[in-house]
Structure 1
């Protein structure tokens, strides 16, 4: 995976006014509370990449 794929997920997966994930509703017609598993995955990947850069380690 690369940063662009993580950013694409986070661009469409966000909290709606009702507290549900907008991307899950639009793509799969599922009512899923935000944050959904895609958001959790993408944010954890971003955090891992940022920490690896900070420590000077390849992720």
Structure 2
């Protein structure tokens, strides 16, 4: 996985006016409350990468 994949997920899976995930509704016709599991996954991966860089684990 790379940062581009997480960014793509976060760009598409946004909160709609009704509080549902726009990406889930557009791609799979699911009415999923925001944040969906894709957003949870992408934000945790992004946080993990930032923490590793801060602590010196990733160069």
Give the Cα separation in 2 of the matches to 1:57 and 1:35: 29
Give the Cα separation in 2 of the matches to 1:19 and 1:28: 17
The residue number in structure 1 matching 2:16 is 16
TM-score, normalization by structure 1: 0.96
Give the Cα separation in 2 of the matches to 1:48 and 1:5: 14
SS in 1 for 2:35: coil
Q: CA RMSD of the aligned region, Å?
A: 0.5
Gaps of at least 5 residues in structure 1 are none
Aligned length: 58
Report runs of 4+ in structure 1 exceeding 6 Å deviation: none
Provide Cα deviations, 1:2-51, integer angstroms capped at 9, x if missing partner: 00000000000000000000000000000000000000000000000000
